[in-house]
Amino acid sequence: MNPNRIALFTDISLNSKEKIGFGSYLIIPESDLKNVTLELIKINVQLKKFKSTSSTKLEIETLLWAIEECS
């Protein structure tokens, strides 16, 4: 395994009437994938609120935010 490789997981939740959503991401080093615990997930999940968005836009916004944060 390459120690510099990561696994990036993203998810969203959207209130389409209000056009408000939340995006979340989790970054785990590839070397830790076999040893992931609930505690590790709880500590490392990041969450952000987005306004004036749609489902597709929120998916893209969340992915771009996650990539920016891990660069």
Instruction: Grade residue 63 by pLDDT with cuts at 50, 70 and 90.
Output: very high
Cβ contact 44:37 at 8 Å: no
Tell me: pLDDT of 65 over 90: yes
Give the tens place of pLDDT for each residue, 37-46: 999 999 999 9
Separation between Cα atoms, residue 61 and residue 41, nearest integer Å: 21
Instruction: Specify the pTM.
Output: 0.88
**Residue for token digits 């076999």?**
34
Q: What letter does residue 64 receive in the DSSP assignment?
A: H
Task: Return the pLDDT at 1.
Answer: 62
| Each residue's pLDDT tens digit, 7-33 | 999 999 999 999 999 999 999 999 889
Domain residue ranges of the chain, discontinuous segments joined by +: 6-70
What average pLDDT is seen over the chain? 94
